[in-house]
Amino acid sequence: MYGLNPILGKSSHIKVLRVLHRAKEKLSGREIQRRSGLSNRATMLALEALSARRVLRAEITSVHYYYEPNPKSFLWTKSVRPALDAEELFWDDLRKVVRRAVKPVPEAAIVTGELAREDDAEEGELEIHLLYEGGRQRLQAYRCLERLREKVDERYALGISVTFMDMRNMDDPEFQALWKRIAREGVLLFGRLP
């Protein structure tokens, strides 16, 4: 039996599989290309390889090829789909880790950076922004920084940088670029932004 290496050995294959896993319908090659951010050639090569391994199945119409995961594929149902399902639980799990590790619990926790943007990076770092109502809570939470770093490293093998923010200073000019970045790419773990 062949293994996972030919299926998951290339980042383009993983991107295509992610797009199709999230899609609720069959997608054309062009739509997969658009959603994955891959070049046309990389998308078509990945689709061809994954279809040859029967992980995907293609429906040919007069105009397009439409692709979807093959529910009869052993590797799709027993390994690839469960791995992608678990990957989607990452943010929920991180939310729980932050809530447990940081005391007092912030009003809101936001993540930005490569992982929030889903950029392909060999080494990712979580940029976590914790929002507090006042300075005293923020200083108390700062004592938990090392514990949070240890838990994130132990659980995900990722580095983190943490910004402790005070709601009273949100309008300061020095934070305007950060707020724009949070609005553009931020993943809200919990709480709400003012």
Is the pLDDT at 124 greater than 80? The verdict is no
pLDDT at 120: 57
Answer left, alpha or beta for residue 135, where phi above 0 means left and psi between -120 and 50 means alpha: alpha
Is the pLDDT at 127 greater than 80? The verdict is yes
Would you call 143 helix, strand, or coil by DSSP? Answer: coil
| Contact (Cβ atoms closer than 8 angstroms) between residue 110 and residue 187 | yes
Query: How many Å apart are CA 64 and CA 58, to the nearest integer?
Result: 10
Read off the pLDDT of residues 6-43 as tens digits, 9 standing for 90 and up.
888 899 999 999 999 999 899 999 999 999 989 999 99
Query: For 58-78, what is the mean pLDDT?
Result: 93
Query: How many Å apart are CA 38 and CA 15, to the nearest integer?
Result: 8
Is the pLDDT at 130 greater than 90? The verdict is yes
Q: For domain 90-191, which CATH number applies: 3.30.200.20, 3.30.460.10, 3.40.50.40, 1.10.10.10?
A: 3.30.460.10
Which tokens belong to 141? 């939470």
Q: Which helix (H) or strand (E) holds 28?
A: strand 27-28
- Label residue 160 by pLDDT band (50, 70, 90): very high
Least confident segment among 46-55, 150-159, 166-175: 166-175
Domain spans of the chain?
5-86, 90-191
Q: Hey, what CATH class is 5-86 in?
A: mainly alpha
Between residues 84 and 87, the one the model is more confident about: 84
Owner of token pair 């940029």? 127
Is the pLDDT at 139 greater than 60? The verdict is yes
- Label residue 1 by pLDDT band (50, 70, 90): very low
pLDDT at 123: 61
Read off the pLDDT of residues 163-175 as tens digits, 9 standing for 90 and up.
998 888 777 887 7
- Label residue 180 by pLDDT band (50, 70, 90): confident
Average pLDDT, the chain: 89
Q: How far is CA 66 from CA 27, 30, 54, 105, in A?
A: 5, 9, 14, 47
